């Protein structure tokens, strides 16, 4: 079996954004309580993944909601992973990064290698509106720069929408902006919810 990514779900479905296209809305809601860490189950899961995979290289810390709302859980996972895997990534909407730079540096020292930030538009005001981000202090491109200063790699995950990035010319703008900003990786997905008002 070829498995290249081991996904670990952090936290609950709580989120500080309101993306209308979010996949979390397509599944049943969970009880908004973080379960206690079960080291035995986690070790079993790691051993299964290590034994069953041929070439597993990446751990992805992700969530049904916003993982960075649960920093203690992220720290616990990083401590338990303890360099078992060469690449450890964190998927986030990016809004909590600016206020947690020291924590991100500690996570980097504990093995975190890359932060993947969700986005919908090159222009920050449009990006924030499309993602339902109400924090006026959130600036995508400043966040990218702050992450780079911590020594972490950055991937932007662009969700393509009719009201956002939709046409080839829009995609070219994203690519150009990412190159200019020194973004390490760019991925894109097309949302079934094509128009967001």
Q: Is the pLDDT of residue 9 over 60?
A: yes
Are the CB atoms for 126 and 173 separated by under 8 Å? no
Among the four given CATH numbers 3.20.20.70, 3.10.180.10, 3.30.2320.80, 3.20.20.140, the one describing domain 5-190: 3.20.20.70
On the 0-12 / 13-18 / 19+ scale of CB atoms within 10 A, 87 is middle
Task: Map tokens 């995508």 to a residue.
Answer: 140
**Tens digit of each residue's pLDDT (9 = 90 or more) over 154-191:** 999 998 887 878 788 888 999 999 999 999 999 987 76
Provide the token pair at 47: 């051993």
Confidence of residue 5 (pLDDT cuts 50, 70, 90): confident
What pLDDT was estimated at residue 32? 60
What pLDDT was estimated at residue 196? 47
Are the CB atoms for 159 and 188 separated by under 8 Å? yes
Domain boundaries, the chain: 5-190
d(CA 156, CA 97): 14
Provide the token pair at 91: 């998927």
Instruction: Please report, rounded to a whole number, the percentage of residues in the chain having pLDDT higher than 90.
Output: 49
Summary mean pLDDT of the chain: 85
Confidence of residue 55 (pLDDT cuts 50, 70, 90): low
> Of 30-34, 59-63, 152-156, 162-166, which range is least confident?
30-34
Q: Is the pLDDT of residue 44 over 80?
A: yes
What pLDDT was estimated at residue 1? 52
d(CA 151, CA 77): 20
d(CA 44, CA 146): 36
**Tens digit of each residue's pLDDT (9 = 90 or more) over 69-119:** 999 999 999 998 877 788 999 999 999 999 999 999 999 999 999 999 999
What is the pTM assigned to this prediction? Answer: 0.87
Are the CB atoms for 93 and 117 separated by under 8 Å? yes
């Amino acid at each position: 079996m070829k498995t290249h990514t081991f996904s670990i779900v952090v936290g609950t479905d709580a989120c500080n954004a309101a993306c209308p296209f979010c996949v979390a809305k397509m599944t049943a809601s969970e009880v908004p309580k973080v379960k206690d860490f079960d080291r035995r189950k986690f070790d079993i899961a790691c051993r299964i993944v290590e034994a069953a995979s041929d070439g597993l290289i990446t751990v992805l810390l992700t969530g049904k909601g916003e993982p960075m709302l649960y920093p203690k859980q992220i720290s616990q996972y990083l401590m338990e992973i303890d360099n078992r895997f060469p690449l450890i990534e964190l998927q986030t909407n990016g809004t909590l990064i600016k206020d947690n730079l020291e924590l991100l540096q500690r996570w980097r020292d504990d093995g975190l290698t890359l932060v993947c930030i969700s986005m919908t538009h090159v222009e920050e005001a449009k990006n924030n509106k499309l993602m339902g981000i109400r924090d006026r202090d959130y600036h995508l491109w400043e966040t990218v720069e702050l992450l780079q200063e911590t020594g972490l790699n950055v991937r932007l995950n662009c969700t393509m929408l009719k009201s956002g990035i939709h046409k080839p010319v829009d995609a070219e703008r994203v690519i150009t902006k990412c190159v200019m900003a020194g973004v390490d990786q760019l991925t894109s997905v097309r949302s079934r919810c094509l128009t967001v008002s």
